[in-house]
Structure 1
Amino acid sequence: MISSSSLKHLRIPFSLFLMPIFFFALALTPNHNESRILWVFIALHLFLYPSSNGYNSYFDKDEESIGGLKHPPKVTQDLYWLSLTFFLIAIWIGASINLSVALMILIYGLVSMAYSHPAIRIKKYPWLSWFIAGFFQGYFTFATAYAGLSNLSWEVLYKPHVLIPGLFTSLMLWGNYPLTQVYQHSEDARRGDRTLSLVLGIKGTFLFSAMAFMVTGTGFAWFFFDRNQLNILWIYLAAMTPIMLYFLTWFNFIRVNPSKYANYNWAMGMNYFSALALNAFFIYYFLENTQIIQALGY
């Protein structure tokens, strides 16, 4: 029987934060197909990401707040099997598109498992875990979505038209990832996990993320400018404005009292602001880049 705590630890709504990568891939995909769009979305957001969340929660056994759960319930044995079942379903959906997509989903899932499994536990290595999390949740997921949406093979991984925008999604995550760890220092230290935020310190985390955000913004500005999409560039900057205002406000409070404001509510607020603004932007970019808006007469 599946317990309610296991369902909570899947954290399906938390997939919202990674949806911009899917919509960005969708905007650049040349071969749109309604069925593939639906199945790729389901495979990633309803099965693969929840599988990863549940599996990592099972081995972390967090007692304090985690992403998407302010008060995580105790994990039970069925969470382990539920997460593996979700993983297998994601692979099966990928295989229904083609074997390359299934393989890419398999690789993502195995790397995700290694992140928290005690035999490997990538999470305890600050720079390695930072790089791997951003690389696989960004570029690798972008390439997987692109391959699935267009029914292409794993060879898209090294194609420049996939590699370049995919790396920009990793830049987004490399900037934001340490911010998701600022309220977990005590529990991470207690478990022996030296996360990047723990190594950098609270103020150092914000300075690091600020520099990463500047690099990310410059990269996207170049991307849209290079594609002669200046109108899209201005809309991108408009979408980023509330995110940066939130970040700078939070940073200002952190400078005054780090221990008080490096908390779950502020971190999740940053995630929600980012997710809503970026999802809205990339959905618009999909509609504009595929000329659906023009076709509708707007």
Structure 2
Amino acid sequence: MFKWSNWLHLRISFSFYLMPVFFFALALTPNHNPERLFLVFLALHLFLYPSSNGYNSYFDKDEKSIGGLRKPPKVSLGLYYLSLLFFIVALVLGWLINWQFASMLLVYGLVSMAYSHPIIRLKKYAYGSWIIAGFFQGCFTFCMAYAGLSDFGWDVFYKSHVLVPGLLTSLMLWGSYPLTQIYQHEEDAKRGDNTLSLKLGVKGTFSFSAIWFLVAGIGFAWYFSSRAQIDAFYAFLLALLPVILYFSIWFVFVRKDEKRFANYSWAMWMNRISGLSLNAFFIWYFLENTQILQVL
């Protein structure tokens, strides 16, 4: 269970790309508490996400590149048990805050398991998996983090001031999600997984993502304007600038030669640039919105 190859499949470092959702929730949380912040961060990024990665890797049994692993090692039964161990630890950490937060972690974990488990395998449904993955990694995670950070319960899902920014994070993920599948067409087709990117084709994936990125940008512009935070809007645009530039350049190259440029390396650099840019923005927004620096 503790073989190095199993730990590689957990892809703990890949949690970095989902941190903007956590920092956005942190920026809007009314009840800041260092202990809860630490527990929520650990539960999500060190245990829940890696558990999901390892569990799905075990059932996918990928032979070619996956997110965070250029050459994934062969999976073993030990990976299955290690992913479940990480899942249990995440639930225990969640329970230390409250049972409702722990139950949200449970729901997220079960949905992520259904993504690759052969009995359900959401991954083989192009639009269904796209909607579910974007919603749970975005809106659901935002609300879950908000609840854990503030010691709240399921009622946060009924509050517009939580649900609206949560949905904005899903808009971003609905744009980026198909791009993470763009270099896996051959292997997905071999397994019978009709992913959205495979269905759209390479150029169609870029066009589809561009539309959703535009929708997300308009949504965030409206959100910051409605809060009279024009500075935040301009900072958000500045953070997105390197992402938009990279995406545009990548698309130009892909239009010239799909096989050469719609690959793992280009997709991972897209993740790195967007992860760095959005994490930097939402950390700044947290500090600005809470005025913590002024207090210190």
TM bin, normalised by shorter chain, reads over 0.9
Instruction: In structure 2, give the amino acid aligned to 1:24.
Output: F
Matched, 1:186 2:186: yes
Matches within 5 A, 1:153-168: 153-168=153-168
**SS in structure 1 of the partner of residue 35 of structure 2:** helix
Instruction: In structure 1, give the amino acid aligned to 2:50.
Output: P
**SS in structure 2 of the partner of residue 118 of structure 1:** coil
| Post-superposition offset of 1:294 | 2.4
Moved more, 242-251 or 287-296: 287-296
Superposed CA offset, 1:10-33 (max 9, x none): 000000000000000000000000
Q: CA–CA distance in 1 between the matches of 2:84 and 2:161?
A: 33
Unpaired runs of 5+ residues, structure 2, are: none
Q: CA–CA distance in 1 between the matches of 2:98 and 2:49?
A: 20
What is the TM-score of this pair, normalised by structure 2? Answer: 0.99
Matched, 1:42 2:38: no
Matches within 5 A, 1:1-298: 1-296=1-296
| Post-superposition offset of 1:259 | 1.4
What is the TM-score of this pair, normalised by structure 1? Answer: 0.99
Q: CA–CA distance in 2 between the matches of 1:79 and 1:195?
A: 24
Unpaired runs of 5+ residues, structure 1, are: none
**SS in structure 2 of the partner of residue 64 of structure 1:** coil
| Post-superposition offset of 1:295 | 2.5
Q: CA–CA distance in 2 between the matches of 1:172 and 1:20?
A: 11
Superposed CA offset, 1:124-183 (max 9, x none): 000000000000000000001000000001110121011000000001100000000010
Q: CA–CA distance in 2 between the matches of 1:157 and 1:91?
A: 20
Q: CA–CA distance in 2 between the matches of 1:256 and 1:115?
A: 33
Superposed CA offset, 1:95-146 (max 9, x none): 1100110000000000000000000000000000000000000000000100
Instruction: In structure 2, give the amino acid aligned to 1:208.
Output: F
CA RMSD of aligned residues (A): 0.6
Q: CA–CA distance in 1 between the matches of 2:119 and 2:193?
A: 13
| Post-superposition offset of 1:293 | 2.5
Q: CA–CA distance in 1 between the matches of 2:110 and 2:295?
A: 42
Instruction: In structure 1, give the amino acid aligned to 2:35.
Output: S
**SS in structure 2 of the partner of residue 74 of structure 1:** coil
| Post-superposition offset of 1:190 | 0.2
| Post-superposition offset of 1:258 | 1.1
Q: CA–CA distance in 2 between the matches of 1:294 and 1:171?
A: 32
Q: CA–CA distance in 2 between the matches of 1:192 and 1:180?
A: 18
